[in-house]
Amino acid sequence: MSKTDCDQAFRVDDLNQRWPEMTYGGALSFMRRKYTRELQGVDVVVSGIPYDCAVTFRPGCRLGPRAIRAGSVQLAELKSFPFGIDPFETLKVTDFGDCFLDPHHPETIPAAIEAHADHILASGAKMLSFGGDHFVAYPLLKAHAKKHGPIALIQFDAHCDTWEDDGIGLDHGSMFARALNDGIIDVARSTQIGLRTFNDSDMGFEILTSPWVHRNGMDAALDIIKQRASDAPVYISFDIDGLDPAFAPGTGTPVAGGLASWQALEFIRGLGDLNLIGMDVVEVAPAYDHAEITAIAAATIAHDWLCLLAIKNGAKTNAVGRL
C-alpha cells in the first residue's frame, strides 16, 4: 500500500501537499488537512469549539465541528470552484482538532476558548473556527482584538445577537452587545447581514436584512459592506441560521425568509479585497440536518474563505465558464 493511498490527515508531511482519497473513507479532518498542533510556518489553523450550553432553543451544535469536517470531503477532491485553484499550494492549512472544554464548569468556558485562540494567534496563523453556538465568537473576538485592535465585524445571522447583556451570562443572543461594550468591535465599520428578527436598536451596526438583500441584490449589499469595512481588520462571523431553513435546517434557531446558500457564497467570494483576519462558522446542529445540506453549506462557506486567503498568498485563479 502506498503512503498516498489514504489518511493524508495523518500521513502527509508537506503542508502544501494533498492526494486523492475515497470521499467515503479515510481519516476526517477539514478538507483532509493534516491534524497537528505544530504551528510553525502555518498560515491558517482550523479548529472546533464544541460548546452549545449558551443556546436559547434547540441544542446540538456541539457536534457542529464534526459535521462540518465530514461535509468537506468533496471539497478536497478537485480544484476549488469557481477559482480554479488548489488553495493549499500557496496556503499552509492545518486542522488543530477541537478546543478542550469542561461543560461541567461553565465558568471556565470563555477563558478556555480565549486562551486556545491566544495560543494559535501568537504563532502568526489566522484562525478558522467551527462552533458550537454563537457565544463562542465572543472569546474569539477578544483574542483577535488583542492582536489587531478594534475589529470590523461582518456578521451573517438571522438574529442581531445584541439583546440586553448582563456582562456575566453565557448567552448566544447577547454576546455582541458585550463585545461592543468592551470596545473590541468597531461598530462604525461593521455590518450585519440576513437579519429577520426584531430588535429595538441597531446598536450602530449597518443592518442589511434578508428582505433588503432579496430586493436590492448582491452588488448593492457588497458595496455597503466593503465601504464600511474599508481597510479595517475584518472578522467574519457566520451563523448558519443566516441561511433560510430550506438551505440550512440543521440549526438550533431557524427563521424563515433567510439567505439562500448561493447568496452566502457570493457574499464570501465578494469580500476578498478586505483585510481578512479570522472567521468562524457556527450553529450547525447536525441532529436537525437532512442529507448533510447544512454541513455542506457551512463547509463550502469556510472553504471559500480559505480560497480568498490563498489568492492573497499568490494563487492564480483560472476560472472556466461564465461566472
Tell me whether residue 1 is in a domain.
no
The count of domains in the chain is 1
Tell me whether residue 237 is in a domain.
yes
Q: Cα(33)–Cα(292) distance, rounded to whole angstroms?
A: 20
pLDDT of residue 2: 62
Tell me whether residue 317 is in a domain.
no
Q: Cα(135)–Cα(116) distance, rounded to whole angstroms?
A: 15
Q: Cα(293)–Cα(128) distance, rounded to whole angstroms?
A: 20
Contact 303, 75 (CB under 8 A): yes
Tell me whether residue 206 is in a domain.
yes
Name the residue range of residue 220's domain.
9-19+28-312
pLDDT of residue 320: 76
Tell me whether residue 205 is in a domain.
yes
Per-residue pLDDT of the chain (323 residues; tens, 9 = 90+): 566 678 999 999 899 988 888 999 999 999 999 999 999 999 999 999 999 999 999 999 999 999 999 999 999 998 999 999 999 999 999 999 999 999 999 999 999 999 999 999 999 999 999 999 999 999 999 999 999 999 999 999 999 999 988 999 999 999 999 999 999 999 999 999 999 999 998 899 999 999 999 999 999 999 999 999 999 999 999 999 999 999 999 999 999 999 999 999 999 999 999 999 999 999 999 999 999 999 999 999 999 999 999 999 998 988 877 66
Say what the pTM is.
Answer: 0.96
Tell me whether residue 4 is in a domain.
no
Burial of 268 (0-12, 13-18, 19+ CB in 10 A): buried
Tell me whether residue 70 is in a domain.
yes
Grid cell, residue 159, equals 438574529
The CATH number given to whatever domain includes residue 214 is 3.40.800.10
Tell me whether residue 145 is in a domain.
yes
